[in-house]
């Protein structure tokens, strides 16, 4: 098998493509012929030794993959050889074969190709859980999505729209926001970098009421400004801090709006409630089969160009997902 290996911590160009022997399967594991692997910012941190989990050298980055099951451990019954699946693997996804826990494999709907499947798990899994289980978003509510051109952001827009919310999407690039607006048919997009008064626009758009639910994956100043344009009984979903700054919140604003700050940690929750997570994916797969979800993948790169894929993420060029393909026919 071929893998894009990290043999010592360093920048993306220090990764090396090498042949290596197949690892043996353990109990409950399956081997996948990887067709595509999703690229995420933690991949960048992992190869630099800045991620909380440090796999032993050599390892390949790549936490999520899609591919075909080619071998199963004797005790595995949930998937079989030939199944098309997506799987969370933690690391070692930038490779043409990967070992996955059978429990983490989801069988792809026929409507979904491997490229979309490779970038679907983390983004759509997180955003569905956030909007449905955590925020209990209702049709007709206003959903303000920050970082709406990113992976989890585009998924939140897509799912929120399908749930009947009125979407206001923010981001730092007019060009990326225009692509999101066109793809999802969104009327209101706001640039939080070039327009420091974006929260006033939220109030105007909502006739003074403010947003009911805020999907907050950016952090910093964006969170406090969101509290100031939140409706009564509003919920702010704390998803992440892509901007790098973990904000502090004036608690009086939460009191004044009868607001809720709602934490979201999909990766930990799915281990606690795996059956609910599976049901979430089944619902989304049904929507996808019916043509109701439109995941965005702006960049694909062959495995040889994994460093370019990582730089596309680092340089904020991506709209939706960046995916590495293994070049199989
Ligand atoms: N809570 C959970 O369970 C969970 C699950 C998955 C991910 N996350 C977190 O959610 C956040 C977004 O993840 P993602 O996969 O959607 O990432 P992504 O695809 O890289 O998107 C991040 C977005 O954040 C915006 N951003 C603002 N300031 C930025 C900066 N300084 N550097 C980079 N991006 C910046 C970018 O939009 P503009 O360029 O338009 O500003 C970008 O589109 C991350 O913090 C991630 O760790 C949380």
CATH of the domain at 230: 3.40.50.720
Average pLDDT over residues 29-55: 96
**Hey, which of 152, 194, 216 would you mutate to test ligand 1's pocket, going by the most ligand atoms within 8 Å of its Cβ?**
152
Residue 95 confidence (pLDDT) above 80: yes
82 alpha carbon to ligand 1 midpoint, in Å? 34
Round to whole Å and give the CA distance between 58 and 18: 11
Q: Do 152 and 253 share a structural domain?
A: yes
Rg (CA), the chain: 20
Q: Give the per-residue pLDDT at 230.
A: 98
Q: Is residue 275 part of a domain?
A: no
Q: Do 185 and 167 share a structural domain?
A: yes
DSSP string, 58-97: SB---SEEEEEEEEE-TT--SS-TT-EEEEE-SS--SBSE
Nearest atom, ligand 1, residue 241 CA: 45
> Atom 37 of ligand 1 has which residue's CA nearest to it?
147
Q: Is residue 88 part of a domain?
A: yes
Round to whole Å and give the CA distance between 284 and 106: 12
Residue 328 confidence (pLDDT) above 80: no
pLDDT tens digits, residue range 131-186? 999 999 999 999 999 999 999 999 999 999 999 999 999 999 999 999 999 999 99
Q: Do 258 and 128 share a structural domain?
A: yes
pLDDT tens digits, residue range 238-272? 999 999 999 999 999 999 999 999 999 999 999 99
Average pLDDT over residues 92-112: 98
Average pLDDT over residues 39-49: 96
Q: Do 243 and 316 share a structural domain?
A: no
The residues lining ligand 1, judged by C-beta closer than 6 Å to any ligand atom, are 40-41, 122, 126, 147, 149-153, 171-173, 176, 217-218, 239-244, 264-267, 313, 316, 318
Q: Is residue 46 part of a domain?
A: yes
Q: Is residue 68 part of a domain?
A: yes
**Average pLDDT, rounded, for the chain:** 97
Q: Give the per-residue pLDDT at 327.
A: 85
What is the 3-state composition of the chain as percent helix, strand, coil, each rounded to the nearest 5?
Answer: 35, 25, 40
DSSP 3-state of 111:
coil
Q: Which of 38-47, 90-99, 105-114, 320-329 has the lowest mean pLDDT?
A: 320-329
**For the chain, first and last CA: distance in Å?**
16
Average pLDDT over residues 52-75: 97
Round to whole Å and give the CA distance between 266 and 128: 10
Containing domain of residue 51, as a range? 2-120+295-325
Nearest atom, ligand 1, residue 321 CA: 19
- Domain count along the chain: 2
Q: Do 305 and 255 share a structural domain?
A: no
Q: Do 319 and 228 share a structural domain?
A: no
Relative to beta strand 84-88, strand 64-72 is: antiparallel
17 alpha carbon to ligand 1 midpoint, in Å? 28
Q: Do 136 and 84 share a structural domain?
A: no
Q: Do 260 and 139 share a structural domain?
A: yes
DSSP 3-state of 290:
coil
CATH number at 7 reads: 3.90.180.10
Q: Is residue 281 part of a domain?
A: no
Percent of the chain whose predicted confidence (pLDDT) is above 90: 99
DSSP 3-state of 207:
coil
Q: Give the per-residue pLDDT at 329.
A: 54
């Amino acid at each position: 098998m071929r893998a894009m290996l990290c043999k010592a911590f360093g920048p993306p160009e220090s990764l090396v493509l090498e042949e290596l022997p197949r690892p043996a399967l353990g109990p409950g594991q399956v081997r996948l012929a990887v067709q595509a692997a999703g690229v995420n910012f933690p991949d960048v941190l992992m190869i630099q030794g800045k991620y909380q989990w440090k796999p032993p050298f050599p390892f390949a980055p790549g936490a999520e993959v899609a591919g075909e099951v080619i071998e199963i451990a004797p005790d595995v019954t949930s998937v079989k050889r030939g199944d098309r699946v997506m799987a969370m693997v933690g690391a070692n996804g930038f490779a043409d074969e990967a070992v996955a826990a059978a429990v983490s494999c989801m069988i792809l709907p026929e409507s979904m190709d491997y490229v979309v499947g490779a970038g679907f798990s983390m983004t759509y899994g997180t955003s569905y859980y956030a909007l449905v289980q955590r925020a209990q978003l209702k049709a007709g509510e206003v959903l303000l999505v920050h970082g709406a051109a990113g992976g989890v952001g585009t998924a939140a827009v897509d799912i929120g729209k399908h749930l009947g919310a009125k979407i206001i999407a923010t981001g730092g690039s007019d060009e990326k926001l225009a692509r999101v607006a066109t793809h999802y048919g969104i009327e209101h997009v706001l640039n939080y970098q070039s327009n420091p008064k974006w929260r006033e626009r939220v109030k105007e758009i909502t006739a003074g009421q403010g947003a009911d639910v805020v999907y907050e994956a950016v952090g910093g100043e964006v969170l406090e400004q969101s509290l100031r344009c939140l409706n009564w009984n509003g919920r702010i979903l704390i998803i992440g801090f892509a901007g790098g700054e973990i904000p502090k919140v004036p608690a009086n604003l939460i009191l004044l709006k009868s607001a809720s700050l709602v934490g979201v940690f999909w990766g930990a929750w799915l281990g606690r409630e795996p059956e609910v997570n599976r049901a979430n994916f089944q619902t989304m797969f049904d929507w996808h089969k019916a043509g109701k979800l439109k995941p965005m993948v702006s960049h694909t790169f062959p495995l040889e160009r994994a460093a370019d894929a990582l730089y596309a993420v680092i340089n904020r060029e991506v709209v939706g997902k960046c995916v590495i393909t293994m070049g199989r026919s």
